Amino acid sequence: MSEPLEVSVHLLPKLVEPKDLRGRTVIMIDVLRASTTICTALRNGAERVIACGSIEEAQQRAASLSPRPLLGGERGGVKIDGFDLGNSPLEYVREAVEGRTILFTTTNGTAALLHAKEASAILIGGCVNAKAVAVAAKSLGKPIAILCAGTNGHVTMEDTLAAGLLVAELAQTPEEELANDEAMMVLGLYVWVGKVNKEFAGSIEMSYGGRNLHAIGREEDIPIAAEIDSVPVVPRFDPNTSEIRVVE
């Protein structure tokens, strides 16, 4: 008989020490918008995404690569000066990204990936690939830790709801164990908001991250990020190379 699946949730990177993620499969969530954008870029044929911790790192790495990679990312939600692309999934169309390497840096998502560097495996999840990333994470046979990126150090409704969606996908039998209170909390929130009140997309719209996107005129990204299982690819981050590629 196999061991029961253990699922834990961490609502912000600063709420878990990197060493406590050792031996676990981490699913990093940044619904608005890094997770959604990375999934979209890889679904549309990008060869790889390279996560960079800073603007300067992205620029330095770009100078050393040939052919020239695309620079993508944001600060304060807005495309970085001199970069080719921002952090909107609408920008990462096939015509722009197919066959290309993308050097990518964002305020919250790439920082959360780098925080998880000691994990056994690091996958990238969101609403758009919930079922696919849950299946991939289970197949690795390790305890699973869902890591929410949050926004500027604050817990966000959009990541919390997506974490609840993933817990619902992962823990579908009584034998599967929710290993901390946060896992139980996010599952309860998802069931209440998504299943009972049917306000899943609307709650993401009204979230902290959703309001931020409205403020900078990027609200068209919100329904794309809230659409469940619309981009069924599974990105995996390699902390040794900082590369993100699709799990085949």
What is the predicted pLDDT for the residue at 175?
65
66: three-class secondary structure by DSSP? coil
φ, ψ at 85 (rounded to 5°) = -140, 155
Q: For the packed helices 130-139 and 157-170, what is the interaxial angle rounded to 10 degrees? A: 50
C-alpha closest to that of 80 among 112, 106, 62: 106
Sequence ranges of the domains in the chain: 6-246
What is the predicted pLDDT for the residue at 194?
86
pLDDT in tens, the chain (248 residues): 457 789 999 999 999 999 999 999 999 999 999 999 999 999 999 999 999 999 999 999 999 999 999 999 999 999 999 999 999 999 999 999 999 999 999 999 999 999 999 999 999 999 999 999 999 999 999 999 999 999 999 999 999 999 999 999 998 776 678 989 999 999 999 999 988 888 999 999 999 999 999 999 999 999 999 999 999 999 999 999 999 999 98
Region of 6 (left: φ > 0; alpha: ψ -120 to 50; beta: rest) is beta
Instruction: Report yes or no: 147 and 180 within 8 Å, Cβ to Cβ.
Output: no
What is the predicted pLDDT for the residue at 156?
96
Decide the pairing of beta strands 243-246 and 48-51: antiparallel
What is the predicted pLDDT for the residue at 140?
97
Q: How far apart are CA 239 and CA 244, in angstroms?
A: 9
Is the CATH code 3.40.50.720 the one for domain 6-246?
no
pTM for this prediction: 0.96
What is the predicted pLDDT for the residue at 172?
76
